[in-house]
Amino acid sequence: MSSFKYNRLDKNDAAVLLVDHQAGLTNLVHDFTPDDFKNNVLALAEAAKYFKLPTILTTSFEEGPNGPLVPELKEMFPDAPYIARPGQINAWDNEDFVKAIKATGKKQLIVAGIVTEVCVAFPTLSALEEGFEVFVVTDASGTFNQTTREAAWNRMSSAGAQLMTWFGTACELHRDWRNDVEGLGTLFSNHLPNYRCLINSYYAAAEAGKRS
């Protein structure tokens, strides 16, 4: 009998960590196109808001070349904990960041950031060591190229992190379409053009059914 245990994301026990999505660091992301990457990050952020997940923002050395947090995230989460780290490369080395995470009371951490092998991998490994379940959103995390990305993915998954996408994350959190078809459909439509066609067809068919 398999010893595998499927540990699903639970919207009642999850928090989101958006690590170092900074204006300067976005220039280092070359494993996704700029438009795709921005869309993925904002899709994850919108999912966090939709599911009402505690969300923590952090930046590293803003006054240096890393630059400020991308403005869209700050606008989406005006009241979220915002930890501007003075210099720690591993966000977990910052006491305020860890305190903010532990204050949520959640044991599942959904993590994304720039760059994957450093700003995502380091706090992911640190959180795993402290007993958290970590889910890395791969397409909302970016780095120099596919080689560095795959090395980071291998390191994190070997340590016990689950690698996901923003779409898979949203579906696993939602669990059942009957919970809210229109809400989740709108989220997907905002970030997936093909899904907008699908959901528009669904709405049109539903409306036609009402008239018949």
CB distance 2 to 88 below 8 Å:
no
CB distance 155 to 125 below 8 Å:
yes
Tokens, residue 123:
């706090």
Tokens, residue 149:
């990305």
Question: Which of the following is catalytic: 16, 119, 156, 164?
Answer: 119
CB distance 178 to 14 below 8 Å:
no
Distance CA(4)–CA(143), nearest Å, equals 31
- Catalytic residue status for 119: yes
Distance CA(22)–CA(168), nearest Å, equals 24
Among residues 184, 193, 165, the alpha carbon closest in space to that of 41 is found at 165
> Catalytic positions, please?
119
